[in-house]
Amino acid sequence: MAQSEEERREQKRLAAQRRRARKQQKTSEEVDLTSPQALPPTPGQTALPQSLIDAQLAELTARTADQPTDSDRDIDFAYRNMSNASLLPSHCPSTGAWQWYLYSLTSRDKFLEITQKREDAKAKQAGTITSQRMEDDKRKQFAMLDRIERQLTQNLKDDIDDLMSRFPGDVLAQCRTHKEAWDAYFAEHPL
């Protein structure tokens, strides 16, 4: 009887394995893209044994030990592969690329924010506009330049004539507060 109990457990285990295998064989058309199964696995969910990943990381470290670091290449690699659930350390150009890839899986929003800021900085340095924020900054700068230009080209005579026609007493009273300037003016231009 104990043997039949063990056989039943083994059959249940095998049936569960078959169900999991059938689930994995679903095509991408059958998988709801909003479901958790559509997302790539996080490092803790990988189907590969950790010993294989560790061995590949050791090989990758040895292979890239003498290469100079290139964070742009590593981040670009992680960005291009962030939806690739079957990526292995041996596919990466460096250990940094592998770490960026893992970060893209665990903190997708933060990773995308970093890549957007990088692209904005590159575009700004190159003198090209690739984002709405940069376009808005440009509009604000032009609006400020337009205001300064209007102030510099302002016709003061017309403004003073307008003020004198509407508020003569106030304008003359204000002018009387500048006695030194008036005295200097009348000394140069007598009545």
Is 104 in a helix, a strand, or coil?
helix
From residue 95, give the alpha-carbon distance in Å to each of 21, 147, 178. 31, 53, 74
d(CA 124, CA 89): 33
pLDDT at 43: 47
d(CA 112, CA 104): 8
pLDDT at 129: 56
Q: Digits of tens for pLDDT over the chain (191 positions)?
A: 556 787 787 778 777 777 766 665 544 334 343 334 434 455 444 556 778 888 888 888 888 888 888 888 999 999 999 888 888 888 899 989 999 999 998 899 999 999 988 888 887 777 665 566 667 778 888 888 888 888 787 778 888 888 889 999 998 888 889 889 888 988 998 87
pLDDT at 30: 45
d(CA 103, CA 108): 7
